[in-house]
Amino acid sequence: MPRYDCPSCGNSFNGKKCRNCGYETFNEEIAHRLHVHKGEPLVIRETTRKPIPTADPFGCPPVPQKRRPAKKRKVRPLGVVMLVLFLLGPIMDATKNIAEKFGDTLSYITSPTSESLPQDDYLLYSGNGIRVSTPWNPETGFTSELPLNIFNDGKKRIFLWLDSLTVNDFCLDEYAYLSGEIKPRQSECLTLYLNEDALNYCGISTVSTYGFRLGFYEAKNSDQAVLTDFICVPFPDTELKTQPNPADDGAPLFEDENVRLVYRGYIPPKYDSASLSDISFLIFIENKSDRNLVLRSDDVLANGSACDLWIYSPLPAHTKRVIQCSCSDLPVEKIEDLKDLTISLLYRDDDWNETSFSVILPVESQGQAVL
């Protein structure tokens, strides 16, 4: 390959570009980079060749250059999950609130009307937006498990419970149970359970009257509870299989113009007869007045030592009740060693007029309750 002397620095080069100073022979590529256009003379004023400047001496727009794509940050899976949950949290809460708000309304619209439902049951009550019926034929007699069909005529869900139960003027709501939730324009089949031991405690051998009252409230309006009127079930007089002693057959404890208390005896533990942790005492209470009363206990002493025995019992006017008082921390190991059990009581009326008194349960002399 022929070699030439560089006119700029004097070193030999191959005629294309000097490796020493960078001089290049003028060609079409250089003319293009220098923007030498047709008809323009090429003027090189300097004898020493300099590198071609990066700036365009003729002011032509620059050639756009490709930008390298920015590096993406690697997001960890845990961060993605936390971000998604954070963003979806408010949406899920809003969806839940909307579903709760409009779910009852949609259920009310899509449910059948009350006129389209069969009415084969015996209707016991209708009012306050609910209807209560029973598939049980009252003519067949008394049952301790009364089935009830309760229909909700309102536009909101209701939560329903048993407020009171009366059999032969005895309040037995603490021995009975009924509870449920009913959607709008729908019905639920619930069962009113009654512990049959309560009938023995109260000395009931013949059921002559049976009635109850229900309480309910709409969803999210628990402070606006509604109580039904007294619902009577027309059972005919029914003889029971058991013949217990009368409810007031026991040791008199207290009596004035308003209340009367009688101690019926104790019920020994069912599972461990050697332990007194599950012993109960039966007390008959009668409200003789025309006012609603509430009876409660204050202090309880067993053989002079304080123990835990709590009594709280509402007493509607002219009603009776047999309460079952449980005591778990008696200071004795045998019931024969319990010589004295003193209970401080008081009762008050609706005007908060209180009357205090004390009773002593004759546990040793009365013995077990004869039911």
- Encode pLDDT of 199-233 as tens digits: 999 999 999 889 999 999 987 777 888 899 999 99
Mean pLDDT of the chain: 80
**pLDDT value, residue 363:** 86
CATH number of 116-239: 2.60.40
**pLDDT value, residue 109:** 43
Does residue 101 sit in helix, strand or coil? helix
Question: Rounded CA gap, 301 and 323, in Å?
Answer: 19
Give me the CATH topology for the region 251-366. Immunoglobulin-like (2.60.40)
189 bridge partner residues:
149
Common-topology check for domains 116-239 and 251-366:
yes
Beta strands 305-306 and 231-232, pairing class: unpaired
Tokens of 225: 């509870």
- The residue behind tokens 């002011």 is 59
* Nearest CA-CA partner of 316 in 163, 96, 149, 102: 163
Question: Rounded CA gap, 13 and 29, in Å?
Answer: 19
**pLDDT value, residue 19:** 75
**pLDDT value, residue 33:** 57
pTM score over 0.75: no
Beta strands 145-152 and 210-218, pairing class: unpaired
**pLDDT value, residue 112:** 46
Which positions of the chain have pLDDT values less than 50? 45-47, 106-117
Measured between its terminal Cα atoms, the distance across the chain in Å is: 133
**pLDDT value, residue 334:** 81
**pLDDT value, residue 93:** 66
Which amino acid belongs to residue 22? G
Question: Rounded CA gap, 121 and 124, in Å?
Answer: 9
Domain positions in the chain: 116-239, 251-366
**pLDDT value, residue 70:** 65
| 349 contacts 341 by C-beta, under 8 angstroms | no
Question: Rounded CA gap, 97 and 100, in Å?
Answer: 5
DSSP letters, 350-371, are TT--EEEEEEEE-HHHH-B---
Question: Rounded CA gap, 357 and 254, in Å?
Answer: 8
